[in-house]
Amino acid sequence: AKDFTVGKESLPNKGDIDWETKLELKTLRNKNIDLTNDLEKKSKELSLLLKSDERESTTSKQFTNPTDSKEKKLIELTKKIRNINLVLERERQLNLVMTKKIRDFEKTDLKKVELKTPDDFEKERENFLALIKNLKENLKCSNRKLDDEKIKSSSLKSDLRLMQKVLIDEVGQDFNLTKLTEINGSKKCNWKGRAQQIELLKVKI
């Protein structure tokens, strides 16, 4: 039987192929070896069948009609040979496919293939955990800043309410604060607050 296995000298260096590809390459080689062994086994079976047929034909001639026995054995042997040939052809095709896959792997630009070993996966896991830890720290820092801003906002709201109260006491309950802002922004503004008006009245008196 023809040996379709690929020699070990054509194997790539251990460090030049990624982990997944290396496992697949090993599986293909094992299948290739199994198919080659199966081919040899089937070839031997075929040879034994041919020899057995010769012996049985010689023996049967002594006790039975030579013509009938020969035709019967020939039909049986033909069926067996046909089945074995089908199996052999199928396995030859599989062997060729596996061999081609192995050679395609060996022709791959291995320098561009990233090495993936258990150590690499462990490093990726550590990096991922470090990233999660960093994100948690950033989230905690953001939450602290958010709490600080909430406190500042609450304080500013209190100050705003206090200032509104002071302004209302100064200009009166019914005075429009927006209008007051417009008046103060005008160059011709001569508006006087309640305290200023009291002082002016004191001066007049």
Q: pLDDT (tens digit, 0 to 9) for every residue of the chain, 205 residues total?
A: 444 444 444 444 444 445 666 677 777 777 777 777 777 777 777 777 767 666 655 555 554 554 455 556 656 666 766 777 677 677 777 767 776 776 776 666 554 555 567 777 788 888 888 888 888 888 888 888 888 888 888 888 887 778 777 777 776 666 666 666 665 555 455 566 666 777 777 887 7
187 with 106, same domain: the answer is no
89 with 19, same domain: the answer is yes
Rounded to two decimals, the pTM is 0.33
Residues with Cβ within 8 Å of 139's Cβ and at least 6 positions away in sequence, in order, are none
Domain that holds residue 15: 8-116
**Which of 116, 136, 154 lies at the terminal end of a domain, its last residue?**
116
pLDDT at 1 (0 to 100)? 43
26 with 109, same domain: the answer is yes
Residues with Cβ within 8 Å of 194's Cβ and at least 6 positions away in sequence, in order, are 169, 170, 171, 172
For residue 11, which of 25, 23, 24 has the smallest C-alpha distance? 25
Q: Is residue 81 part of a domain?
A: yes
Separation of alpha carbons 88 and 82, rounded Å = 10
Q: Is residue 160 part of a domain?
A: no
Q: Is residue 129 part of a domain?
A: no
DSSP code of residue 64: S
Q: What is the identity of the amino acid at 134?
A: N
User: % helix / strand / coil in the chain, to the nearest 5?
Assistant: 80, 0, 20
Which tokens go with 143? 């939450």
CA dihedral angle for residue 57, residue 60, residue 65, residue 70, rounded to 10 degrees: -20
Q: Is residue 152 part of a domain?
A: no
180 with 108, same domain: the answer is no
105 with 34, same domain: the answer is yes
Q: How many domains does one find in the chain?
A: 2
